[in-house]
Amino acid sequence: MNKPIVTMMGLGYIGLPTAALIASKGISVKGVDIKKEAVDTINQGKIHIIEPDLEGLVKVGVEKGFLKAYTSPSESDVYLIAVPTPFKANYEPDISYVASATEMLLPFLKNGNLLIIESTSPVGTTEEMAKLIFSKRPELKDKIYIAYCPERVLPGQVIYELEQNDRSIGGINKESTVKAMEFYSLFVKGTLHPTNARTAEMCKLVENSFRDVNIAFANELSIICEKSDIDVWELIELANKHPRVKILNPGVGVGGHCIAVDPWFLVSQFGDDAKMIKNARQVNDRKPHWVKDRVIEKAKQFEQENGRKPVIGCLGLAYKPDIDDLRESPSVEIAVLLKKEGYKLYVNEPHTHLQEAHGLTLSDIDTTLKNSDMYVLLTPHAVYKKLRGNIDFDKKLVNYSLK
């Protein structure tokens, strides 16, 4: 495939890194986002999200003229859709953003174009978008290529993993699969695995549901161990000595826009046939409330000993260590729950410049540590790990996120 002109619909945590990576290969990329502030920031060679190595890649892409951001699309050869797929009521997936992005592209589609959906989607979404296109542009039937290709990335390593990880690529027909694989071969070094659109969509949901089930086992184990007066960390270490056992470490819940969301797509679509997936999701959704209750138990002990409620320092709001992403974060949920219980909080998130998030006022780490009677380690950022071993810090620490 010759170097095409590419339009990326959505410049968030996946869209922008993907656009920047493609541009780094000397391919012209037109990024599109409805947020003008994000568009303006990118066109200055800067970024509006935190991700290692991303700003340098964006800066070079913009300076060399291969990456430019807009608030609306224009004619290209390849169109990528990487917009959110949030929930509606009852955890029903909302594909309206994908549909809206598809409709925005309708005036520009022409013979030979390739359209790829990367947004996490319920099974059948790619075929549904194809029907939408052909219903309004029937002359494009069998004239354009449509495929689905989900990403597999770890926040903090997105650029590396976008380029190095294998990809499952599924078209609405074999010709679309082949054309999409040709495109990804321009910037992906990992192995490209051909399939059909439905299987590729299911693959993304299954991968994150598998991880959710395994995390749920660890989180449920931590609850059982607490009731049994057993050190869950020691137990897991011992159990993992078995050559075929690999239990994950428990935490305060599960967050982010993948593991905390994707399993519900399967539950919504397949109901009682996804019982174990649903149970795992409920276990992980319950964990923040369990942690909140344990923190309140500690707070009441403090109150009995000191005659007043403690000031609680919440350490970390991101859903994973050393990133700025607060989406679906259990750490945020716990802090909000503690605030609703009437506790005065000092909240620190070292990876954001925000002064307020989800109704929580944020403080720098020194202010948080100085003014709190007890610390709740919610997200084990590296900066907090360095505080471990300090007698005063450890004495005040309530820890559910770090061994």
Catalytic center residues: 204, 258
Q: CA–CA separation, 150 vs 205, rounded Å?
A: 10
Q: CA–CA separation, 263 vs 164, rounded Å?
A: 25
Contact 117, 148 (CB under 8 A): yes
Q: Which alpha helices (DSSP H) does 64-109 contain, by range?
A: 96-105
Q: CA–CA separation, 45 vs 60, rounded Å?
A: 7
Give the type of residue at 377: L
Reduced to 3 states (helix: H, G, I; strand: E, B; else coil), residue 150 is coil
| Tokens of residue 327, six digits | 């989406």
Q: Give CA torsion, residues 106, 111, 112, 118, to 10 deg.
A: 10
User: Within 13 Å, how many C-alpha atoms sit on residue 63's CB side?
Assistant: 8
Centroid of chain to Cα 60: 25
Distances, alpha carbon 325 to alpha carbons 160, 164, 165, in Å = 18, 22, 22
Reduced to 3 states (helix: H, G, I; strand: E, B; else coil), residue 189 is coil
Contact 67, 19 (CB under 8 A): yes
Q: Give CA torsion, residues 50, 53, 59, 62, to 10 deg.
A: -90
Residue 377 is given by DSSP the state E
Beta strands, E only, 46-109: 67-70, 78-81
Residue 51 is given by DSSP the state -
First-to-last CA distance in the chain?
A: 50
| Tokens of residue 310, six digits | 């403690």
| Tokens of residue 238, six digits | 């011992």
| Tokens of residue 109, six digits | 């589609």
